[in-house]
Amino acid sequence: MNIAALFNDRHYRWFAWGAVVLVLLALPFITEAVLGRSWVRIIAVSLLFVMLALGLNIVVGFAGLLDLGYIAFFAVGAYSYALLASPQFAVHWPFLLLLPLGAAIAAVFGILLGAPTLRLRGDYLAIVTLGFGEIIRVFLNNLNRPVNITNGPQGITLIDPLQMGGFSLAQTHSFAGLTFSPVHNYYFVFLVCAALTIALSLRLQNSRIGRAWVAIRDDELAASAMGINTRNVKLLAFAMGATFGGVAGGLFASFQGFISPESFQLIDSIMVLCMVVLGGMGNVAGVALGAVLLTALPEALRYIGPLQQRWFGGVLVDPADLRMLLFGLALVLMMLLRPEGLWPVRRRQAGKGNADAG
């Protein structure tokens, strides 16, 4: 009955993980057959958001620093990639170089944000990070004059896809009787990256640094009394979180082939925060779940239009409005029913993982 036990059982563990991997590998093909290719795209995008949400989770969930401008790092990663792999400056660097570079630049921005805000707490930090997100967006929107760098609101087109040699993910490939459309290709790349992000998050959580973050979150004063260098540890949280966002941004730019400042608005930061909190702040699996759920839910709610037609024989409420109303309602209800998040972090898990399973 208890599925989780399967993964802990020594004999079945490999079997259980094998099944998970198999399902994930088959997922895009099954989805395409059942729900259509648009859902493969939705799942792929949700994996991007898993990476973003886990990055923000480091800042908000682990270190307890409320960040309302997280999408800025996504933007920085995306623009780093786009500027160096598009006709904008007529340079086309390989992605193997650009993705780490984007991550590094994002990390620098993370520190830039973190440094002046070290003394701030709670909601004061929230508004400064919010401002930071807006500042980045406004700059991206306006750095087309006097010198054109970002091409302003018109955005950057014809961004290179992930490619190596003659093999490009933007083309359809056939392999072993299966068709890999660009969406499928990117799904697998995103899957690997998301898996790496999850693994890294789990390792970080149980590391010295992870424990230091939690200590700061729970009581900063006590943490510094225990000899934790709160400044460095906080900056590290911002930098690590930004790194995840930067990589996701680079992947996003290559996936979309076009970016403009419209993709990096405050509302996007808020949505990523919702994923973290709603999934279960601090719990890696919960946050990943939140990301998938909040990406898929609005898309699933698109079917409400036809359903309304079928059930009530007419359009009572504009389906587009109804969709947003239901989404808002879902946010409220989920939080009221599970204030700790859908899959909260277990209390007192720090020492031994299985202290109180019952």
Nearer to other proteins, 21 or 97 (CB): 21
Sign of the alpha-carbon torsion through 30, 32, 36, 38: positive
Residue among 45, 59, 85, 99 that touches other proteins (CB under 8 A): 45
* Integer Cα distance of 98 and 84 in angstroms: 8
149 binding other proteins? (CB under 8 A): no
Number of residues that bind other proteins (CB under 8 A): 98
Segment contacting other proteins by CB under 8 A, of 50-58, 101-109, 130-138, 239-247:
130-138
Residue among 260, 272, 284, 291 that touches other proteins (CB under 8 A): 260
Residue among 165, 175, 227, 310 that touches other proteins (CB under 8 A): 310
358 binding other proteins? (CB under 8 A): yes
Nearer to other proteins, 214 or 273 (CB): 273
* Integer Cα distance of 274 and 331 in angstroms: 9
Q: Report the Cα–Cα distance between both ends of the chain, in Å, rounded.
A: 14
The one-letter amino acid code at 65 reads: L
Residue among 12, 27, 112, 152 that touches other proteins (CB under 8 A): 152
Q: Taking CB under 8 A as the criterion, which residues in 217-256 touch other proteins?
A: 220, 252, 256
* Integer Cα distance of 191 and 131 in angstroms: 32
Non-local (6+) Cβ contacts of 330 within 8 A are: 297
* Integer Cα distance of 119 and 109 in angstroms: 18
8 binding other proteins? (CB under 8 A): no
CA dihedral 334, 339, 341, 347 (to 10 degrees): -160
* Integer Cα distance of 308 and 38 in angstroms: 21
208 binding other proteins? (CB under 8 A): no
123 binding other proteins? (CB under 8 A): yes
122 binding other proteins? (CB under 8 A): yes
Segment contacting other proteins by CB under 8 A, of 16-24, 101-109, 127-135, 188-196:
127-135
